[in-house]
Structure 1
Amino acid sequence: MDQAPGSPQEPQEPQAEHGLPSCYRHPGRETGIRCTRCERPICTDCMVSASVGFQCPECIRTGSGTGHGPTANQPRTLAGGAVAAHPHLVTKILLVINIAVFIAAAASDRVVNELALIAQWPPAPFVPVDGVAEGQWYRLFTSMFLHQQVWHIAFNMLGLWWLGGPLEQALGRVRYLALYLLSGLAGSAFTYLIASPNQASLGASGAIFGLLGATAVLMRRLNYDMRPVIALLALNLLFTFTWSGIAWEAHVGGLIAGIAIAFGLVHAPREHRNLVQFGSCAAVFLAIAVTVLLRTASLT
């Protein structure tokens, strides 16, 4: 992971009387806004609108990304990742993969049989294919890209586009991809743990709910109005527990993982950013691995 740059100078943050920090350029002006590059507090007169959040005048002046000056002045995302020329590239690739697998599944039922998440296949007359408990752990991953109904993939891909693009831009490609994949795996692992062994499930919902949870964490970090994302989350949870045929376990597992990972990504202190971010992702992956191993042991 890339290390986020520090500012050329590190002045002490003035503290206002009521607990909020003061703008580093205008002592005495309380503010809850910070520069997304150097993280110093800035007031409304100093903040300059950027691709993600706001930046201070010094970072705008010294970190234009033109290739001149030291590497430390190159623009970084809020989470410390490199700012990409095409910030939605990973989201577009994930969309293409999901759509390609959907087309393949529509053409052949064998694709669904081979890629869907299931612990143990039931006896005849069903196709006798091994499940996760028999060693096909790859199903935890492949099921994240598998859909059968048009409405299912449509809802998930709309969610991926609306939530994924801004998150990829805010976090950077590597961190965003880690968030997506680990959230999806967490949803699969929780489904594997809770659902009936012969209940097959599929879809990117776990990953999408992870993005939704991460969006809430990011908006809170940037001090944005939380009401829209809370309303969206509540509506999705309502559908999760009231509509039939929905694997609620994947939604809940992905949501929890997304919140945990995003918190580590956007709240990691700059001096230990890489360590904290890697540790957050590793902790979630370890929890997934332990869950899968314990469930497998109980079924075999």
Structure 2
Amino acid sequence: MAGLPVINAAPIRVSSTTMPQRVVRALYDEIHLTPKPGLVDRANSGAHHDMDHELFICSIEAIAPWFVVFHELGKAHADQPEMMQLRLLRPAGIACEQAMFQATGGVNTHKGGIFSLGLLCSAAGRLEAQGCRLSRQAVCQQVSQFCHGLVARELVQRNRQASTGERLFQQFGLAGARGEAESGFQTVTRYILPGWQDEACEERRLHLALLRLMAVNPDTNLVSRGGLSGLRYVQRSARQVLSTQWTHEQLHQMDQALIARHLSPGGSADLLSVAMVLADLPEV
């Protein structure tokens, strides 16, 4: 990992106003939120058999220092073209994933989050180095520019066995986390952030955001587990809950229904963390 900033594996000691701190706080807030239909939370492991709340905490502790690295890389390469940023970030991303797998015994707890949140940190570092104001619009625009052409490069099927992401793109046109990043997180900016203050209670605000994400997000995690019918079932269920003055009991019932069907909206969980980070920034 030559050329990467040297960091200490001890807990991060940074200002609460830095992007890495926002990201780590969002990861903890997401895993603590309970109940979360089909997802790991304080109450149960959702639709998963190989992970639980404690494992997620271990994973967050392992990957947290790397968000400082992504942030510093954004600063260090602020003079390089946007199209080069992904290539410059990739070694750190791979190392962060390795830290996650080492902490979890090979279980993928945060791969999607590392990708999306790492991009937010790098974009923020680049903007700060350029003397630009950090805002939702500016950070999302930077991420979109970093990822320009990513879907075409990585999801168009090549002459080899297709990956899961390539297969889902070829079959259903679903671009997953890559497409969301290339769009500048449009699912979050269009459907979640405009109604962020609709709930005064923070816990209920996060539940509302998660339900709204589940209602609209073309979550490739769900399609991989349950096909398009699984995705539509979750979207329909979330919309039904949103149409009521929903309670924790309804969320619990939805959780049990998704567990029974082995459906986990992991992509929406990742986007919830993204939403929390962006909501902490001024709009423009």
TM-score of the pair, normalised by structure 1: 0.30
When Rg is computed on C-alpha atoms for both structures, the one with the higher figure is 1
Per chain length, whose mean CA-contact separation is higher, i.e. which structure has more relative contact order (CA < 8 Å, sep 6+)? 2
TM-score of the pair, normalised by structure 2: 0.32
Structure with the largest fraction of helix: 2
